[in-house]
């Protein structure tokens, strides 16, 4: 799909737009404040009510107009406790939103002069915003397929051979696009692709009335009685499309993911793989929004600020993280 070259004007957000909207740390802070406390209205712990807040000169905080108690728009966000400038955070989010295949920590290190470790941590934090765990797929036609990450592709279509433990399965479901809206994807790193696993995932994310398209892989056998229609394409007979029966949509997504993350995943945990999948899915699910994906990411910062923060996991960058 060639959407990137044909972004309509109202969905375009260029680096010039970014520089104009966010010229300084203060501009970013003001934006964040408006996202979290529109008009400066926020609950003041001391006054025990919503009060108006004003910027405190020289500090990244806002004070209550009545009692001067201070609040920070960064509290509870991924920016809290970070010594990196807010504008750099915004720039990193802009980059992550604007590329189709992802952006490497190396690249932001080169462009901005932060250390590789800092850049890597920023991306990890930003990625943590991009999960859509409660999203339900609603398409009337969906494709389900798996791919395997890491290790060497020994088996046909990358399915692992016996004893090939390095490969991590990823199960994906994608809605086919309709005239009304673009199809969305759900991609899950899973411990295995057993019958039970496949049925469990299908039940959680696919509407019972949907038509489900898969290939002939036996793991999908048990879907047949459970959905309105289960149509299968016989890849082993080298058939890839038969009328509307194909899995090309989900395979298009897999190739996007694979092109993006390259062959670095044989060293990383399942949990970590999921965060990359979330990033690709987040962009894919908003591909009709042009560069305004950036706005969606900014919104996530404020939305997730109120939620409890995930306990810090190990923060050492993988040495081969070329991403």
SS (H, E, C) 67-82: CCCEECCCCCCCCCCC
Cα–Cα distances in Å, from 178 out to 10, 18, 141, 142, 293? Answer: 22, 32, 9, 11, 21
Q: Of the two residues 28 and 42, which places its CB atom closer to Zn ion in the complex?
A: 42
Location of structure tokens 């390095």: 166
Cα angle for residues 84, 89, 92 (degrees, 5° grid): 125
Of the listed pieces 39-47, 89-97, 113-121, 137-145, which binds Zn ion according to CB under 5 A? Answer: 39-47
Q: Of the two residues 63 and 139, which places its CB atom closer to Zn ion in the complex?
A: 63
Of the listed pieces 38-46, 98-106, 150-158, 280-288, which binds Zn ion according to CB under 5 A? Answer: 38-46
Q: Of the two residues 69 and 131, which places its CB atom closer to Zn ion in the complex?
A: 69
Answer for which of 47, 135, 239, 322 binds Zn ion (CB under 5 A) is 47
Cβ–Cβ < 8 Å for 201, 173: yes
Q: How far apart are the first and last CA of the chain?
A: 23
Number of residues that bind Zn ion (CB under 5 A): 7
* CB-nearest residue to Zn ion: 64
Binding characters for Zn ion, 63-82, by CB under 5 A (x = yes): -x-xx-x-------------
Q: Of the two residues 20 and 46, which places its CB atom closer to Zn ion in the complex?
A: 46
Of the listed pieces 20-28, 45-53, 266-274, 313-321, which binds Zn ion according to CB under 5 A? Answer: 45-53
Q: Of the two residues 44 and 170, which places its CB atom closer to Zn ion in the complex?
A: 44
46 binds Zn ion per the rule CB under 5 A? yes
Q: Which residues contact 12 (CB under 8 A, 6 or more apart)?
A: 290, 291
Cα–Cα distances in Å, from 212 out to 173, 178, 251? Answer: 9, 15, 15
The 10 Å CB-count burial string (b at 16+, else e) for 36-58 is bbeebebebeeeeeebebeeeee
Q: Of the two residues 53 and 232, which places its CB atom closer to Zn ion in the complex?
A: 53
- Distance (Å, rounded) from C-alpha 57 to C-alpha 1? 49
Report the nearest approach of Zn ion to the CB of residue 57 (Å): 18
42 binds Zn ion per the rule CB under 5 A? no
Q: Of the two residues 49 and 316, which places its CB atom closer to Zn ion in the complex?
A: 49
44 binds Zn ion per the rule CB under 5 A? yes
41 binds Zn ion per the rule CB under 5 A? no
Report the nearest approach of Zn ion to the CB of residue 39 (Å): 16
What angle do the packed helices 105-112 and 86-98 form, to 10 degrees? 130
Cβ–Cβ < 8 Å for 164, 177: no
Binding site for Zn ion (CB under 5 A): 44, 46-47, 64, 66-67, 69
């Amino acid at each position: 799909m060639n959407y990137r070259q044909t972004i309509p004007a109202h969905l375009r957000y260029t680096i010039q737009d970014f520089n104009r909207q966010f010229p300084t740390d203060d501009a970013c802070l003001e934006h964040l404040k408006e996202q979290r406390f529109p008009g400066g209205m926020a609950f003041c712990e001391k006054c025990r009510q919503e009060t108006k807040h004003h910027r405190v000169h020289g500090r990244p905080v806002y004070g209550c107009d009545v009692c001067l108690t201070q609040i920070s728009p960064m509290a509870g966000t991924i920016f809290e406790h970070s010594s990196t400038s807010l504008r750099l955070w915004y720039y990193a989010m802009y980059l992550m939103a604007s590329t189709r295949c992802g952006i490497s920590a190396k690249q932001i290190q080169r462009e901005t002069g932060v250390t590789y470790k800092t850049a890597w941590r920023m991306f990890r934090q930003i990625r943590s915003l991009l999960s859509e765990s409660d999203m339900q797929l609603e398409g009337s036609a969906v494709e389900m397929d798996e791919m395997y990450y890491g290790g060497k592709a020994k088996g046909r279509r990358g399915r692992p051979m016996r004893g090939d433990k390095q490969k991590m399965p990823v199960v994906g479901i994608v809605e086919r696009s309709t005239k009304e809206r673009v199809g969305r994807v759900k991609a899950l790193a899973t411990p295995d692709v057993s019958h039970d696993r496949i049925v469990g995932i299908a039940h959680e994310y696919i509407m019972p009335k949907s038509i489900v398209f898969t290939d002939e892989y036996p793991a999908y056998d048990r879907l047949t009685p459970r959905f309105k229609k289960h149509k299968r394409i016989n890849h082993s007979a080298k058939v890839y499309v038969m009328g509307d029966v194909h899995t090309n949509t989900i395979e298009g997504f897999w190739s996007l993911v694979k092109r993006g993350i390259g062959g670095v995943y044989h060293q990383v945990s399942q949990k970590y793989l999921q965060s990359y999948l979330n990033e690709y899915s987040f962009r894919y699910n908003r591909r009709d929004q042009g560069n305004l994906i950036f706005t969606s990411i900014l919104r996530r910062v404020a939305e997730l600020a109120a939620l409890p923060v995930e306990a810090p996991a190990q923060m050492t960058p993988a040495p081969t993280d070329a991403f």
